Structure 1
Amino acid sequence: MTYTPLQVDHSRNKTVFVRSMWRPQQNQVGSHILCALAEDVLGKTSESRCIKILVKDISPCDSSPCEHGGSCIRQGITQNYVCNCVSGYTGSLCQTDIDECSSYPCHHGGTCRDGVNMFSCFCSPGFTGRMCQTDIDECASSPCQNQGTCNDLVNQYNCTCMAGYSGYQCQTDTDECVDHPCSSLFDCQDLVNQFSCTLNTGKLMAILMSLMLIAGVLTFLFLLAKRRRYKDVDHTWLANFQDIRKPDSQPKLVFRTKIPHKKLQHRWTVERIRKLFFTFCKNNGD
C-alpha cells in the first residue's frame, strides 16, 4: 500500500495524506517494507514511518467455487476462473445435473429415471433390455403341449393346437366318444382325433341268453298248449273199426272236434305268441 497527497489543510499548515489500494503483481509476491514521511507547506518534514507489507497471491479457486466435483481453472493471475465439470453436470459452477432422460431413451412405453451421467429404464410388461428395446419371447419355454404351435404376443402367447387337442396349452385330448357314435352292442374307444368301436361280448351274451330264455318259455307254452289240444280230440271212432290194420276209411274230419270257446281262444293266443316270437327273431337277425 502507498500514500498519496489528496489535499492541503492550510488552517493547520499541514498536508493530509489518504490511503489508496496497491495491487501488487505476480513478481511482487512476498514481504515488503514501505517507509513514508510527512512534509508541511514550509518544507518541514516529520519523522519517517515504516511499515512491513506481506504480499500474498490469493487464487479465486481457493474457495472451491465449482460444485459437484468440478475443477476450477484460474485465468492467469487474475481473479477470473472457469469450471471444468465432471460428466453429468453443466453450468458456470457445475451446479446443474444434466437430464439424461430428456431424449426419451426408453422404448415401448418404458419409464426413464435420471441419474448422475446415466439413466435407467423401467420397462412395460413384455419388454426387457437396458432401453426396453427387446420383446420378451413368451414361447421360449415351449408352453404348448402335444405338438401345439406357440404364437408369441406382447406379454402373452396363444397356442394353435393339433387336431384332436384343445385347451389354452393344448393340454386336453378331445373326447370323440362324447356323442356315443357306436351302437349299444359296441364300446367306444377314444383315440387322437378319431375313435374305434369294439364289440362288447358281455352285452352280446346277455342278449343271446335273454333270447334263449324267451324262446324256451315260448316253446314250453307251445308244447303245453299242444298237449291240452290232443286231450280234447275225440277218439271214440276207433271202436268202430273191425280191423285196425286196414286203411283208415273214415274222413279226417273225425279228428277235428269242436273246441269250446275258451280253449279256442287259448289256441289263438299261443299261435299269436309264436308269430310274435318268430317276428322278433327275424328282426334281431337283420
Structure 2
Amino acid sequence: MVHVNEINECTSNPCGDGNICYNKKNGYNCTCLSGYRGSNCQTPPDFCLGNNCTNGATCESQQTNYTCLCAFGYKGPFCQKEIVNGGWSTYSGWSECSKSCEGGTRSRVRFCDSPAPEPEGQFCIGSDTEVGNCNTDPCPVCKPYYQIQQFKNDFNCTIINENISCTVTCKDGYVFLPEHPPNDIYECGNNTNYMWTDTPPSCAREY
C-alpha cells in the first residue's frame, strides 16, 4: 500500500491572522475570533458599534478599528475639539486726516488675532482697513492781499503749503516814511489762522 503525504490546507493561512484554522481531508475549517465572520473570517466586525465619535462625526469601520470623519469645524481622533477660526480685534485709532479742510480721508486697522485662526481654521472675513471721511468743512481763506494793500504799495508774494508770505515795497516815486517802516514779511495762512500778521504802512511821495 502506498502512503501519500497529506496536504496541510492551513499552511497558507486562509483564515487570516488571529483566527484558528483546522486542517481536514481535502479542506479546512476556520474558527473566527474577535468578531470576524465568514467562511475565511474575511468579514471584520462593525467597529463603529459603540464608537466614541462626537460632534456629528461619521464613523467609518475599517479592517481593525474605526475612524471618525469629522463634521466641518471639528478635529481630533474623536472630533472632540472645535477648530478655532480667526476673530477680528477692535480697530486701532484713526490716522491723521489727509487734509485739514474740504474733505480728507483717514483710516484705521484691525488684526485677525482675537483669536488667531488655527492652521485648519478660517481667516477673518472682510477687510482689515476702514477708511472714513474727515475735516469736511470748507477751508478758511485769507483776505486777498489787495484788501490790506495801502496807498502805493506793491506786494511780492509766494505761497508754500497754503501759507502766503509777502514782502512790500513802494511804487516808483514813493517811499515809506521813516517813522512807519514796513515789516520784513507779511504772512497769512494755516500758520496764522488765515489772518494777516499785520497791515503794511502807506507809501508817501518822494520829494
TM-score (norm 2): 0.40
Q: Which protein, 1 or 2, shows the higher relative CO under an 8 Å CA cutoff with sep ≥ 6?
A: 2
